[in-house]
Amino acid sequence: MPNATPAPASELLELLTLERLEDNLFRGQSRDIGTKYVFGGQVLGQALSAAQATLTQPRGAHSLHAYFLRAGDIEHPIVYDVDRTRDGGSFSVRRVTAIQHGKVIFFCAASFQDAEDSAEHQLSMPEVPRPEDIEPAHAIPEQVLATLPTKVQRWLDRSGPFEFRHVYPRDELNPPKRPPYQQVWFRLAEKVGDAPELHRALLAYASDFHLLGTATFPHGISYYTPNVQMASLDHALWFHRPFRADDWLLYSIDSPSAQGSRGLARGLIYDRHGRLVASTAQEGMIRVVGGAAAPASTGS
């Protein structure tokens, strides 16, 4: 009989299922998805999974603040050391340190809270086409792929666990200059279980897609531009309301500034019914080697 989920989705679920070495010590495997180093979303999702595994009360994550210190080696596993910083009456805090080859490559703090009722408000979801009304991205012609580095070929030619549909598609291989914002519908390609902690870990993984890239839009460059170096420096994620990562979510992203070889990007994540379920922010390195990118301004 065929598997219930295709290989990419099954592989991601396996990636987020950590091996417990001690009460507060976990090991996660790494995957080569075509990036030069470990994908930042993998470390985010695994770190949150490790933190959630140490909770003694059913509290949901409401925020995560992380720093990427060193590039991860895709050929080796990562060890996650969790510090049970606090368990209070309503909140719990965990600090997670990711270690590889004896060095810290990442650390984060995650906060968890009991469910509570309160007054609510949110910014409205942008008016965009529904995901069903947007055609899936076309495959890149083989003759074009053949001209690219092997790693880039693997990244662009792979069938990943998440499906993305861009409201305003951009040719990342020949990027035009555009204002620094975009909207992207995304979802896990197959249905998974109902556990909220699984869907939060999946969203942490997916939240690293497309975020920093938005800061390159005004400059006509991208991750694939040969003389451009890009890397995440930090990442913040706030969970607001329940959601499912296997149903369509809208990622509405903007970049208010880029300077000093760094770019800042912010994101709001809505479910298909218009509820704001999460927010993100990230600063990353965007370095043009051998020449500066053209300055751009979207101000009046």
Can you give the CATH number for the domain in which 212 is found?
A: 2.40.160.210
**pLDDT digits (tens), the chain, 300 positions:** 444 444 688 889 999 999 999 999 999 999 887 778 899 999 999 999 999 999 999 999 999 999 999 999 999 999 999 999 999 999 999 999 999 999 999 999 999 999 999 999 999 999 999 999 998 887 777 777 677 766 666 656 557 899 999 999 998 889 999 999 999 999 999 999 999 999 999 999 999 999 999 999 999 999 888 899 999 999 999 999 999 999 999 999 999 999 999 999 999 999 999 999 999 999 999 999 876 554 554 443
Q: Could you say which of 30, 111, 183, 282 is catalytic?
A: 282
The first and second tokens of residue 17, run together, are 């299922």
Confirm whether pTM is higher than 0.85: yes
pLDDT in tens, 201-212: 999 999 999 999
Asked if the structure places residue 19 within a domain, the reply is yes
Asked if the structure places residue 121 within a domain, the reply is no
Q: Could you say which of 232, 252, 255, 279 is catalytic?
A: 232
- Does 232 participate in catalysis according to the annotation? yes
Asked if the structure places residue 212 within a domain, the reply is yes
Question: What pLDDT is stored for residue 298 in this prediction?
Answer: 41
Structural domains of the chain, count? 1
Asked if the structure places residue 1 within a domain, the reply is no
Asked if the structure places residue 295 within a domain, the reply is no
- Alpha carbon distance 170, 182 (integer Å): 10
- Alpha carbon distance 149, 75 (integer Å): 19
Asked if the structure places residue 82 within a domain, the reply is yes
- Does 87 participate in catalysis according to the annotation? no
- Does 282 participate in catalysis according to the annotation? yes
Single-letter code of the amino acid located at 28: G
Question: What pLDDT is stored for residue 3 in this prediction?
Answer: 45
Question: What pLDDT is stored for residue 152 in this prediction?
Answer: 66
Q: What are phi and psi of 166, to 5 degrees?
A: -85, 130
**Parent domain of 188:** 7-114+133-288
Q: Could you say which of 30, 182, 208, 271 is catalytic?
A: 208
Question: Angle at the Cα of 229 (from 223 to 231), degrees rounded to 5?
Answer: 85
Question: What pLDDT is stored for residue 2 in this prediction?
Answer: 45
Q: What are phi and psi of 29, to 5 degrees?
A: -80, 160
